[in-house]
Structure 1
Amino acid sequence: MPAVRSGDSLQSRSATRSKDAPNKNLPSPPELLKYFPIYEILICTACRHAIKPGGVARHLKDIHRLQNEQRRPYTLYASNFALKAPEDVSSPPDNEFPMPYLPLEQGWRCRAPGCDYLCASIKRMETHWPSKHGSKGNPSHDWTPAPLQTFFRGNSLRYFTTDGPNQLKPSSQSLPNASGCIQKMRHSYRLDAVDSLMLEHYFYSSYKSFSKRNQTEKVWLNVVADLASCHQFLIHGILACTALHMAHIYPLQRELYVLRAYTHQDTALPLFRGELEHPTPQNCDAIMAFAYLLVVFSFATELDNGQNSLLLINDTADGPKENKFILPQWLHFIRVGCEMLDQVWEQIERGPASALADAWEIELDVGDSKIPYLEKFMCFIPEDGSWSEKVISVYRDGASILADAFAYMKSETIKPDVSTWNILGLWCVRLDNEFYDLIFVRHPGALILLAWYCVIMKRMELCWYFGGRPARLIASITDALDTRWHPCIKDAADQILGS
């Protein structure tokens, strides 16, 4: 996949514009010129490199063809910052690589002891070895691929890179042939420098964040990696979620990784839909794995999309906002997809990804322990007859499933490593469509049970892609409910907010 070049369009427009043509669509100075105080550099986000001290006005005139009056706000803005000369700028540490706004190039790193030479072409490396090390050099062990960046261009170009996996401290469970697997996928899918870096991160870190169970952790590391080598939609799903994980732990590079995540997900979804329509013994395990990744991606991007409802998305294209809802993509795929996998479910249970199916299917043999919870939920039905018999019937079914979930979660036999998939499967996936119809119209009964479900979901808050959502969801529910119903969810809100 080619590297994303977000600044190209602006740079192209600026470079080809007539010197005398007015420019009414210029970005603001802080948008075009990003200052990094740690390094004391100013990066042009259109050209994607740093500008030398004293060179802002010339850069805007020669490259972006801006007239004197157009340049004035930018030069005034730039005058607020102290800038270092290129030779004085330090390379960023590994935990800040890659730097935002700078392109990544696929390059090479010399592996000779004590040598830190980096270059962007094999030809330069082949010249470097006899010149500096006195021999031709062997490409199999004397240099290695490396993602490269540089702050400056031209005569001041100086590449920097990262130590990659060495900084990530691989787990003892890591694939013994992880590097070989990475190289194979990099070649098969023509991954660029950013994707290669993200793939390494998956093998050494991200796979462990998708599950708290040792058994499923091994599936993500070994089985899913093997499936991804022959299912294109799955490798894109892995890279999409890994990009979001890296955006979470490397906030300085958040924009770069989030953009890359959406690019991969946009590629994966049409392919996944096609496979889901025709499940076979050959693709069913990959479909199951991608369904899990879809949940991770949806949760992690929920706030970027301005959503915090978890189970519902406002669809404002038609109709009033307060009455128009659709199921979120992750829930739709899981509810519909699980039905479509019925014909191959036995194959999944016997196959290499069976641990994923086991984590999803929970036998809720809770006996009478559900009764106190069900009695509590049934007490919320008003006695004034304002709910129809049909609504009460649907509410009762939803309350019974939620009571099962509470009894299961409170059981002394429940393991502390209950997974995201367990929690989601306890209630929202088991509900009938009629219950979702009640949520769609914001029926108080449905919202009350949803508020209590937040108490169970709080178990997921330690997941990097879920933190804080139960509190935000119950706040939204409180706003949507008439104050007469607030006493029904007070205890739930207290448990979530810690009151």
Structure 2
Amino acid sequence: MSAVLGSRELLHYDTQHRVLICRECTYAIQKSALSSHLLRHKIYRGERQRLMFSVVKLEILEPDDVQIPPPGSPPVDGLPVISGHRCTATSCESLCASSKRMRRHWSEAHGVSDPPGSCAVSVSLQTFFRGTKLRYFEVSLVTGAGSSAHQNDSDPNPEATPAPLQSSLSPSGPPWEINLETLRYFHHFTTTTSFALPTQNEDAGNHWQKEVVTQALRLPWLMCGLLSVSASHMAALSDDEMDKRIYLEQSNRFFHDFIVAWEGVKSSPNVAEGDEVKVGAQIICVQQCYHWTCEGSTPGLEITASTASFQLQSFIDAVQGCADPEIALRSVLNNDITAEEALDQTTMEIEMGKPLQDKVSNAAPPALLKRLCTLPYRMAEVLDRPDDPQQFFASLRALNSLVECSSLSYASDNAETAWMGMASWLLRSWGHFKQMLYRSHPAALIVFAHWLLLVERAQRHYWFLSGLATRALHEVVRVLPEDRALRSLVEDLMPSV
């Protein structure tokens, strides 16, 4: 038996387990957190008080008091089913959501650092709560009369075909239905959008086309994120303002469902271990970039994205995260890379006294190369002598790298090369230079402004970057000291500035 509460049927009370499940977030809510949770769903005073009055009459158990269903039980209505693994060690039967976590379990609990393939079997899992109260339990999915979809316990391969997952059409799916309109966005992603997103390197060519789609097909919350990116892409391609508004509204709706679930996902233990979590962070980075391109362009429509405001640091993090899952997750979780780590990534060394022209090919336009190679002399004319020699060397290293990355960007006229030339500079020019840039040091801002020429080249290929180079240049000009000679070094980089 169960009860549905609220005009939006947001809350589902499971009488068997005595838990209150949010139908949109698809997990149980602790009684003490209910009021704030309702506010998050924009349930305001009147209805919130009525819901709280209804809930106070119910017996709702604390997370530690909830009895976990025994293995083989049918799925609990309102909770998503995920593919996981059950340990096969004698008298253990621990449950893990990922094979990586299962291997760690064998190392920590059983003292085996390299467990055999038969260390676990694939099972279907659910959990009532997220975060620190997360406890998985095993369920059995019935596929027909008298037949169970539970994996055979003798299956020796924990990475074999995962246990079937609940369809998004089931009551435990997200608050949208699979219909022809939804399939339209999914089809667009698989046939078009997935080829219009960057990857970290050429070897990761199947990342968006295969890996992301496969993960989204078994994780409804990730599917919401995938569909939101697809709808944003359709909006970016559309010349019709009415169609564009419709696509953006759909993108908002999908992204809202995604981000509500994401808040629970990112608070779970071992959040950095799951590939699907890193994909979710990449989706946030892509949507954040597109959000910045759309701000103010569609009156009356609020574009939903993550809460990062447009600043040089958030812009850089988001751009890198679009292609790099590790950077995306670190950026979204606000785990900044240290200066020492960034210096370890730097492979470029300055050969003092050697002209920059000797280190480049003729791939980049001669006018661009000339501008970059003469920039140190022009900067020296308007900048004071640096107090710290490290500032001089950091700026010169960044400019040296920019010359080489410009040559790489123009090595061929395709999207992958344009992205690689742009993104590689961020990895090769960091360390002390990063600290200078984020402190608005004029020398760093000037070099960074010239890197935006590579962003402008990349945005011709990548829809979610459109216009961001000019916007970032405006930000550079805004934070530069009000010195005419200083600003003249960057103001002519793009006609619109």
With the length of structure 2 as denominator, give the TM-score of the two structures: 0.47
With the length of structure 1 as denominator, give the TM-score of the two structures: 0.47
